[in-house]
Amino acid sequence: MRNKKISKLVDPSFRLYFLVGFLFAAVTVRVSIPLAICEAAAMAFLWWYFRHTAQKRREGIRQYIDDVTDDMTTADKASMLSAPFAMMVFRPDTQEILWSNDSFMQLTGVREDIFDNRIDDILPDFPTHWLLEGKSECPETVVMGGRHFRVFGNLSHPSSRRGGQSLLATTYWTDVTEQDSLREENESRRPIVSVIVIDNYEELMKAGSEASRSAVLAAIDEKISTWLKDSHSLLRKFDRNRYVLVTTEQEYQKLLEGKFSVLDAVRSVVTEDGVAATLSIGVGKDVDDYETLYQNAMLSIEMALSRGGDQVVVRNRLDFEFYGGKAKSPEKRTKVKSRVMANALGELISDAGQIFVMGHAHADMDVVGAAAGICCIARKRGKKAQIVIDMEDNVAKPLLSKLAALPEYKDAFISGNDAFISAQPGALLVVVDTNRPDLVESEQLLDACNRVAVIDHHRRAANYIESAALNFHEPYASSASELVTELLQYLADPTDLLRAESEALLAGIVLDTKNFTMRTGGRTFEAAAFLRRAGADTSDVQRLFQSDLAGMVERYDIIRHAELVHGDIAVAAVEKEIDRVTAAKAADELLTLSGIHASFVLFKNGTGVNLSARSLGEINVQFIMEKLGGGGNSTTAGGQVNDATVDEVRERLLAAIDEYMEE
């Protein structure tokens, strides 16, 4: 700002010299009238001189325009000077206005002394960098005099015979006020279709008397109606627990500003048995036809339910957006679905010429356990499955060594590259313990196989494996091993399982439930009982999780770096590379501290940073990890940030935690 004021003082300006001359003349009158007359004459001479030089400059720029338009007719030249759209020529380096036509003068309201102003005096916010970057159009809409303008322009050099002058910028100003107004009005009226679902309708209908159940539904209807009271929208109930909402972009923005308060309002509706109602909302937007909007809304509601419900999922033109989803989701699963999925998986395996089983990269015991269960199902059907895994980069080496020693698993383990090379048309790929294509062991193999089955318990991410022949996705399950164990109960007998396979599956369940203390439901114990009948030895499973003294020392060194955030969140940032298992165990142990509800461990991994997150359930660590590109479920999550330092990722993590707590 000071530089601008100084530059204005040194710029040649009529007003400056008039002011200087007036001050000198006024002061000198008291001393000597003849001297004052001389000064007034000097002022008049200065006025004439600079008026004359300004006129010469205008004539010079007109001459320049004549030079660059020699092939134009006289009528064309006159048209340019009095064009209906505004034109202005200035110097980008000094911001000095050299010439403009009458249309531009009318827009600015500055006529006589416009050439004594700089462009940043008249339009302080007008950007000029785009011209120097070689662009022909201003990237921003320029507002001047309450009107909107698209500005085009180009740089040029003056004629060589005038030599020594800097670049000149010629700009053309097109009024787009009406177009912008129509576009904004059209966008504000763009239709949006939403589907609203009462998540736990069946659970609500099991509680209390008939009168109380009717009262609960009436209360939910009243909460939704109150939420939309001032909204010019259409709401209709088309099923016992489903509503369709048709609104506009303008009204949707109001609902968004209110952070979809209906979620909290409906959660306050509680049955006589203490069951709180929850809603999920799927939104389809940024599409012009209603059929596609409704399809996107149904995709969004499916996504919301697969992530545990009690949230809003928005499907826009490019991606999904998520709001809410903090409530702890009750277990909602039926054995009917498991039986149907088991039959479908059995048929896929029977028809497949090749069978590959693949989990996420850096495989853990849940991946290996689930993969071993699929191998048992394939063996029961007379087929051999191969497990796609990196035998070096994993955290389940004791379990892999135990399986590799079995004759049934000879040549069963294969790398991603070898599997991709050997894959044939008609091969079946079973993906376990992940639903994200960017996290699998081999994306090439995933793209090469046209028949894919997905078995996963994590909340569905925005980018998930689409067009799967089978999708057994249960976010209420404790682990992928639990889901595979349920399938085994319909496809094999306990005697068909090898002891090492049953222990691998039980190890996967123990890992993800933290010894049956987290995310554990009735079905989890049923799966564990089945594996116990199949020969799993709990003491052998426990030995798989033993660590050495060095690992324990390193684990407690991580805990020593922990700091408290918001009073109940522990964050430990370590400026060195450590083992993933050690970091995960450190995050688990931080939860054993009194008053800690969530923990995060950050550690260096090459040029990036890895994160391990754990929670007791009150805080949804998946939502926080998704803001950093990670994922998981509400109590166990992780992520990786490439090309960043530990301090940078720590700051981003703290910002994500703050944002989550504010919401």
Give the model's confidence band at 3: pLDDT under 50 very low, under 70 low, under 90 confident, else very high: very low
How confident is the prediction for the chain on average, in pLDDT?
A: 84
CATH fold group of domain 191-324: Alpha-Beta Plaits (3.30.70)
Is residue 330 pLDDT above 80, yes or no?
A: no
* Short-list 529, 491, 535, 492, CA closest to 509: 529
Task: Give the H or E element holding residue 315.
Answer: strand 311-315
Q: Are the C-beta atoms of residues 433 and 370 closer than 8 Å to each other?
A: yes
Check whether 76 has a pLDDT greater than 60. Answer: no
Distance CA 590, CA 616 (A): 11
Q: Would you say residue 413 has pLDDT above 80?
A: yes
- Between 567 and 20, the higher pLDDT residue: 567
Residues 331-360: what's their mean pLDDT? 86
Q: Higher confidence at residue 62 or residue 555?
A: 555
Instruction: Give the residue extent of every domain in the chain.
Output: 2-182, 191-324, 335-543, 549-662
The residue with greater pLDDT, 85 or 437, is 437
pLDDT digits (tens, 9 = 90+) for 605-630: 888 899 999 998 888 888 898 888 88
Fold of 2-182: Beta-Lactamase (3.30.450)
Query: For the chain, how long is the longest CA-to-CA vector?
Result: 124
The model's confidence at residue 483, banded by pLDDT at 50, 70 and 90, is: very high
pLDDT at 290 over 80: yes
Mean pLDDT (whole number) for 329-334: 55
Q: How confident is the model at residue 18 (pLDDT cuts 50, 70, 90)?
A: low
Q: How far is CA 281 from CA 165, 197, 199, 218, 277, in A?
A: 63, 6, 10, 19, 14
Q: Give every CB contact of residue 106 below 8 A, 6+ residues apart in sequence.
A: 86
The CATH class, in words, for 549-662 is alpha beta
pLDDT at position 439 is: 87
User: What amino acid is encoded at 282 in this protein?
Assistant: G
| Percent of the chain surpassing pLDDT 90 | 35
Q: Which CATH architecture has domain 335-543?
A: Alpha-Beta Complex (3.90)
DSSP 605: E
Q: What pLDDT does 26 receive?
A: 72
C-alpha span between 641 and 229 (Å, rounded): 44
The fraction of the chain above a pLDDT of 70, given in percent, is: 88
What are the E-state strand segments in 352-427? 355-358, 385-388, 413-414
571-589 confidence digits (pLDDT tens): 999 988 888 888 888 998 8
CA–chain centroid gap for 111, Å, is 50
DSSP string, 114-155: GGGSBHHHH-TT---HHHHTT-SB-SSPEEETTEEEEEEEEE
Q: Point out the least confidently predicted range of 5-14, 192-201, 458-467.
A: 5-14
8 Å CB contact between 495 and 536: no
**Segment holding 571, helix H or strand E:** strand 569-577
Residue 530: which of 479, 485, 492 has the closest Cα?
485
Tell me the backbone φ, ψ of residue 458, rounded to 5 degrees.
Answer: -75, 155
- Among residues 656, 654, 613, the alpha carbon closest in space to that of 637 is found at 613
- Tokens coding 640: 């990786």
Q: Is 41 helix (H, G, I), strand (E, B) or coil?
A: helix
pLDDT for position 14: 54
Residues 6+ apart with CB under 8 A from 8: 118, 121
Query: Can you tell me whether residue 305 is helix, strand or coil?
Result: helix
The angle formed by the CA atoms of residues 386, 389 and 392, to the nearest 5 degrees, is 135
**Closest-CA residue to 615 (of 648, 577, 568):** 568
pLDDT at 325: 66
Position 364, amino acid:
D
3-class state of residue 251 by DSSP: helix
Kindly tell me if the per-residue pLDDT of 329 is higher than 60: no
Expressed in percent and rounded to 5, the helix, strand and coil fractions of the chain are 45, 20, 30
User: What's the Rg (C-alpha) of the chain?
Assistant: 36
Q: What is d(CA 466, CA 246) in angstroms, rounded to the nearest whole number?
A: 27
pLDDT at 191 over 70: yes
More reliable by pLDDT, 432 or 545: 432
What pLDDT score was predicted for residue 11?
Answer: 46
| pLDDT for 597 | 92
What pLDDT shows up at residue 618? Answer: 83
Q: What are phi and psi of 301, to 5 degrees?
A: -70, -35
How far is 200 from 278, CA to CA, in rounded Å?
7
Reduced to 3 states, what is the DSSP secondary structure of residue 51? helix
For residues 408-420, one letter each, b for 16 or more C-beta atoms within 10 angstroms of the residue's C-beta and e for the rest, the string is ebeebbbbbeebb
Tokens encoding 477:
């399950």
445-455 pLDDT tens trace = 999 998 999 99
Tokens linked to 520: 């554990």
* pLDDT at position 72 over 50: no
105-109, 111-115, 155-159, 508-512: range with lowest mean pLDDT: 111-115
